[in-house]
């Protein structure tokens, strides 16, 4: 969108006469950019986000003419955010939509990421794509979110094992779950644990955010394995060992730093593809009890185990738990 087309659009609305004259006279890019930015802020304050986004695109056009790529990309992102805010508010109010603002946001973010790639700041492009993907998840468009997260991963491929990539993979797994791709989510959680290097570190050295991430991945993988009921031949070695540990009737050998199914070093770490638990002992025992109850199709034990386990779970994991309890055979007539 060039400056003249922005001017034509603005002439349809109540625009200050001074600005109207300056736009129709094709002012210098820097001056037009400042005027359009001020108008965009004013329109946003007046809750006219679509018009504010149009002005932000005008700012981007001006900065493009002035050969200022960083400012151009930032203006495009501002336009995209305003469009996404408009679309999310429309969705939450249950109003009909043609998704026009979403498509404008996708186009603006695509242009911004291209600019970021050209000037060598790939992490900003990845951040923009993640922001778009999260908005798509909020708008109940999980398949679009999955595709956008995949694009972010492709841009981030040179940073394997970094926290940024792990966050992308974690959010991608959430999008897979929202889209109903439980097998894909299971694979993604396994990838998180493997590429993070947490298996090599072991529970003794995994601390803070990384320990919590490993814990979440383990719980979700166990519950997903129970749901998808994959045949042994289709399980990865990692998942096969995980199930073997949780389905073992022996409780005494289970701890957060050692399992009988894996060979570990002195720090509790394991080799690539080998399972090692990152759960605190009590959570591990509660989850193991639940797995044994579900495997044995014992309804009373499953309900009792779920009541002990639920206090350790978030909303997504609780939904898995409830689903597995419902799958457990109920006595006839109940």
- The pLDDT score that the predictor gives to residue 157 is 82
Q: What angle do CA 31, 34, 40 make, to 5 degrees?
A: 140
Average pLDDT over residues 124-148: 96
- Beta bridge mates, 264: 270
Lowest mean pLDDT among 52-61, 241-250, 271-280, 310-319: 271-280
Domain boundaries, the chain: 1-119, 121-180, 183-334
Question: Mean pLDDT for the chain?
Answer: 86
**Residue 129 pLDDT class (50, 70, 90 cuts):** very high
Q: What angle do CA 193, 319, 176 make, to 5 degrees?
A: 50
pLDDT tens figures, 29-88 = 888 888 899 999 999 999 999 999 999 999 999 999 888 999 999 999 999 999 999 999
Rg, C-alpha atoms of the chain: 26
- The pLDDT score that the predictor gives to residue 273 is 56
Res. 3: pLDDT tops 80: no
**Residue 18 pLDDT class (50, 70, 90 cuts):** low
d(CA 16, CA 43): 12
**Residue 328 pLDDT class (50, 70, 90 cuts):** confident
pLDDT tens figures, 169-199 = 999 999 999 999 999 999 999 999 988 888 8
- The pLDDT score that the predictor gives to residue 256 is 43
273 by Cβ neighbours in 10 Å (0-12 / 13-18 / 19+) ranks as middle
Question: Which helix (DSSP H) or strand (DSSP E) does residue 57 occupy?
Answer: helix 49-65
CA trace torsion 247, 190, 229, 234 (10° rounding) = -100
Lowest mean pLDDT among 9-13, 219-223, 296-300, 328-332: 9-13
């Amino acid at each position: 969108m060039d400056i003249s087309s922005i001017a034509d659009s603005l002439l349809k609305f109540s625009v200050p006469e001074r600005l109207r004259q300056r736009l129709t006279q094709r002012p210098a890019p820097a001056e037009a950019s400042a005027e359009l930015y001020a108008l965009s802020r004013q329109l946003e304050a007046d809750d006219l986000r679509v018009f504010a986004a149009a002005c932000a695109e005008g700012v981007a056009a001006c900065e493009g003419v002035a050969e200022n790529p960083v400012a151009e990309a930032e203006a495009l992102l501002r336009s995209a955010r305003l469009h996404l805010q408009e679309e999310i508010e429309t969705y939450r109010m249950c109003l009909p939509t043609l998704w026009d603002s979403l498509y404008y946001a996708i186009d603006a973010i695509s242009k911004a990421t291209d600019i970021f790639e050209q000037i060598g700041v790939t992490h900003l492009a990845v951040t923009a794509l993640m922001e778009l993907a999260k908005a798509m998840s909020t708008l109940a468009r999980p398949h679009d979110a999955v595709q956008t997260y995949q694009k972010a991963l492709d841009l981030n491929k040179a940073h394997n094992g970094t926290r940024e990539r792990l966050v992308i993979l974690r959010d991608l797994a959430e999008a897979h779950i929202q889209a109903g791709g439980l097998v894909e989510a299971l694979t993604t959680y396994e990838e998180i644990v493997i590429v993070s290097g947490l298996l090599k570190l072991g529970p003794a050295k995994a601390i803070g955010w990384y320990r919590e991430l490993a814990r979440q991945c383990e719980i979700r993988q166990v519950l997903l394995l129970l749901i998808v009921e994959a045949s042994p031949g289709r399980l990865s070695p990692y998942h096969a060992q995980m199930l073997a540990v949780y389905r073992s009737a022996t409780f005494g050998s289970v701890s957060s730093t050692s399992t009988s199914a894996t060979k570990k070093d002195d720090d509790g770490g394991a080799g690539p593809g080998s399972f090692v638990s990152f759960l605190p002992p009590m959570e591990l025992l509660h989850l193991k009890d639940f797995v044994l109850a579900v495997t044995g199709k014992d309804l009373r034990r499953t309900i009792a185990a779920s009541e002990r386990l639920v206090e350790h779970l978030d909303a997504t994991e609780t939904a898995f738990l409830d689903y597995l309890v419902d799958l457990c055979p109920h006595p006839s007539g109940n």
